[in-house]
Amino acid sequence: MSDVHDRFSLAGEVAVITGASSGIGRAVAEEFAADGADVVVCSREQENVDPVAEAIDAAADAADGDHGRCLAVECDVTDRDAVDALVEATVEEFGSLDVLVNNAGASFMAGFDDISENGWKTVVDINLHGTFHCTQAAADHLADGDGGAVVNLASVAGQRAAQYMSHYGAAKAGVINLTETLAIEWAGRDVRVNCIAPGFVATPGVETQMGVSADEVDRADVDRRIGTSEEIADVARFLASDAASYMTGETVAAQGVPQGEQMPQQ
């Protein structure tokens, strides 16, 4: 492998991916592992994330060496004790923590007047407070050795208005600002912090709600407004790799052809 390709590789890295039971999180975990990184996947229910680890480990067995292993951990990112335990389990299993992908998120569509205080707090807690918990808990380990990378998942709804998504948009806007601020604060620790703002992505949740399947998406078609989880995983892999060594504090919008308002990724 040439040096230029080595810069895109995650081989030998250890990555934590939150919200990895399906959709974008699972695609990121699978792509990182296929590239040689050991990955830790988590979700709020162990039974939802165990199949992800089993599939990745089966692929590792079949690859006979050039594939990362996987550990599944039950973790609610709004619970700081659970997040601390997630980081501890990662370091105990794989010896380090090099990359954190803050993907866990949730939302629902509602007009601002119809959002309850509990509904607002729940969405902000998972999307923004969860990112805070995981990033702060991982900080010291990310700064060890040659430094590390944080990849946050925001949304185009955090960059501009998205009707019926005021709670989600406000939380994701907070994630974007947090990304920019931490990039400055942590540059001296050799930790890069970047963000992805997906547009409309054909996740299982979108398929259930709107009947749009990833199988219907042609990645070769430029003129489209819907992407796949794997396309977002490609961006995450780049931002986590040394190929993005001159990027920090950036938010990369992955949204296809802009045509007015987009639906968010969660």
State how far the Cα of 162 lies from the Cα of 195, in Å rounded to an integer.
Answer: 19
The residue from 168, 178, 199, 240 that is catalytic is 168
Q: H or E stretch including 32?
A: helix 23-34
C-alpha dist (Å) from residue 150 to 135, 213, 241, 252? 8, 29, 11, 13
Separation of alpha carbons 185 and 193, rounded Å: 10
The residue to which tokens 């050795």 are assigned: 145
Instruction: State how far the Cα of 106 lies from the Cα of 124, in Å rounded to an integer.
Output: 9
Distance CA 173, CA 167 (A): 10
Task: Tell me whether residue 168 is one of the annotated catalytic residues.
Answer: yes
Give the chain's end-to-end CA distance (angstroms, integer): 36
DSSP state, 237? H
Name beta bridge partners: 16: 40, 100
d(CA 152, CA 197): 9
Sort strands 251-254 and 70-74 into parallel, antiparallel or unpaired.
Answer: unpaired
Residue 19, φ and ψ in degrees, nearest 5: 60, 45
- Catalogue the active-site residues: 168
